[in-house]
Structure 1
Amino acid sequence: MPQLTLPGFDMPPPVPEHRFFFAAMPDPATAACIAAMAEGLRSGKPGESRVLPTEHLHVTLYTLGDFAYVPGATIARACAAADRIDVPSFGVTFDRLVSFNGRPDHRPLVLTGSAGLEMLIDFQQQLRNALGKAGLRFSGARFTPHMALLYGERRPDQYNIDPITWTVREFVLIHSWLRRTHYDVIGRWPLTNRSASV
């Protein structure tokens, strides 16, 4: 028998707890270098900056969405689409730090690039097209490759750094537990080695 609710006392919608997204992650050595740089950029005042854990550093390629429950069918379609991606490994270069908008005490400082990201942009487009053909929601938002390093007070709008370069050899599907700062990599897809470059 269905449970009845009184007028004006409808149950609120369930709160999303799960986020799923495809990402490119730096290799461990590069991630360690980026994390050390981020640590050096944080404010010296306790609690004013939060640096992301080294193992969480990533470039988001496509977000499937936020969900109250694990969407098994959506994950299956996304994985099937990822299985069809056939792209050689490629190099990326990041050489700029930018402060994005956000809450006054929670502004992300991100790593991005002025050049050297064309192949990453092209790869993201191929992934997005494959996911769209699989029947997943299609986002028309412009893709701006970036990697969040820390959250805290606002920094100068933009400044250049020595280039950070690595080869993208795989992409992953990440399950992020919202409000828990916990990531699980639930799928990995290696890129081919036909023309790996840095």
Structure 2
Amino acid sequence: MSRIAERRLFFMAMPPPAWVDDTRALLVRLGLDKRLRSALFAPANWHQSFSERIFSPTEEECAALLQVGSAVSASSCTLHFNRIDGPADMPGRIHWTMRARGVPKAFAALLQEVRDHLGHAGFGRIATGVTPHMTLSYCAHDTLDKIVLDPPVAWTIDELCLAIGGGNPYRYDIIGRWPLLPEIDPPATQPGLF
């Protein structure tokens, strides 16, 4: 079985459908959908990762990670995506990515909670040091110079999910979801999406 066809299990957060629709409309206005064409990662799959993947997970691994997810207690956090870029930073693969301004304290705390609980459960190998971002394409046809998003696109992560990716077409099946606590230090003003 190829690595692409293998099912993969990991912690993540997914934006709500209305946010996805609005962000997809932004890409259309910027003409990025036409540049990406079929290389656009399916918007229904856009996500923020919080761990590395376990390929071809067993039932035992799924059950253990469900326990990890239920042990996480962290606050919601708001990301402010202020740019899109697509440098050729990986040989043979160009990622186009929305990147957030800074790393909110609540994001760092959530990531640390996930990492700590993974380590305690014996899954330290899949802990990660991800940054706030959302990949729009994993295989773009060309590089993309930085596009500044002004105002930034805000997304409040208020739920941690455990998902299994796979299938044709590729999709994520959520097998566990846990609401996060209210945001401790929300932005003074909630900027509009656009």
Q: Quick check: TM above 0.5?
A: yes
Cα deviation, 1:139-186, whole Å, max 9, x if unaligned, reads 565322211113422333433212011221101111111664122111
CA pair 191-48 structure 1, distance change in 2 beyond 3 A: closer
The match for 2:46 is: 57
Amino acid at match of 1:176: G
Distance 2:14 2:166 in 1: 18
The match for 1:135 is: 122
Contact 1:82 1:189 in 2 (8 A): yes
The match for 2:142 is: 154
The match for 1:72 is: 59
Question: TM-score, normalized by length of structure 1?
Answer: 0.78
Question: TM-score, normalized by length of structure 2?
Answer: 0.79
The match for 2:79 is: 92
Contact 1:74 1:136 in 2 (8 A): no
Corresponding residue SS for 1:26: coil
The match for 2:192 is: none
Corresponding residue SS for 1:33: helix
Pair 1:28 & 2:17 matched: yes
Contact 1:93 1:117 in 2 (8 A): no
Corresponding residue SS for 1:94: strand
CA shift for structure 1 position 125? 1.6
Corresponding residue SS for 1:129: helix
Corresponding residue SS for 2:165: strand
Q: Alignment identity in percent? A: 24
Cα deviation, 1:36-72, whole Å, max 9, x if unaligned, reads 223431335xx855222222111111123212xx411
- Structure 1 unaligned blocks of 5 or more: 1-13
Amino acid at match of 2:33: R
Corresponding residue SS for 1:86: coil
Contact 1:25 1:58 in 2 (8 A): yes
Distance 1:36 1:51 in 2: 13
Larger radius of gyration: 1
- Residues matched between the structures, number: 180
Distance 2:134 2:2 in 1: 27
Which of the residues 68, 74, 90 maps onto 1:81? 68
CA pair 118-111 structure 1, distance change in 2 beyond 3 A: farther
Distance 1:65 1:160 in 2: 34
Pair 1:113 & 2:100 matched: yes
